[in-house]
Amino acid sequence: MALKRMDNVGIVVDDLEGAIDFFRELGLELEGRGAIDGEWAGRVTGLGDQHVEIAMMRTPDGHGRVELSRFLTPPPVADHRNAPVNALGYLRVMFTVDDIDETLERLRKRGARLVGEVVQYKDAYRLCYIRGPEGLLIGLAQELG
């Protein structure tokens, strides 16, 4: 049996509304939101009794999704939001945008800050990392040519 697709990337946040607003500004669409709780959910995550608010954000092409989760119980136990780019483990999500400068201008109004600088890789891409809501690390790429 073959792998079919990657379904989504999960990001745990404190401020679900702020994260939804930020990812909407980036260009994702809110696909749905709701609460996940009960014994079945805790069996999947290994966290036991849990109550989580989630929002599923979809990329404009309909293929990629970001699942934003706010854990009410149990509360989050670790914070990786300020980890440097070379930290071990899952760290960032990268989005391709039409115009990196225009995207940065819009996202700065939502609190985004540039990590390093916008650079050009050969004749292929302009790239940068930003810190988004709650310090989340997000990559932006603009295809050239």
| Alpha helices (runs of H) in 2-143, residue ranges in sequence order | 16-26, 39-45, 100-108
Q: Long-range contacts for 110-114 (Cβ within 8 Å, ≥24 apart)?
A: 110/21, 110/22, 110/25, 111/22, 112/22, 112/138
* pTM (2 d.p.): 0.91
pLDDT for position 16: 97
Number of structural domains (the chain) is 2
pLDDT for position 128: 97
Alpha-carbon distance of 54 to 70, in angstroms, equals 6
Distance of CA 60 to the CA centre of its chain: 15
pLDDT for position 81: 81
pLDDT for position 79: 85
Residue-wise pLDDT tens digits, 31-60: 999 999 988 888 888 988 899 999 999 999
78 occurs within a structural domain: no
130 occurs within a structural domain: yes
80 occurs within a structural domain: no
Domain that holds residue 21: 9-73
Q: Are residues 13 and 53 in the same domain?
A: yes
Q: For tokens 């988004």, what's the residue?
A: 132
The mean pLDDT of the chain is 93
Alpha-carbon distance of 81 to 16, in angstroms, equals 15
84 occurs within a structural domain: no
Residue-wise pLDDT tens digits, 52-100: 999 999 999 999 999 999 999 999 988 888 888 888 887 889 999 999 9
**What token pair was written down for 107?**
């996202």
CATH number at residue 32: 3.10.180.10
85 occurs within a structural domain: no
Average pLDDT, stretch 127-136? Answer: 93
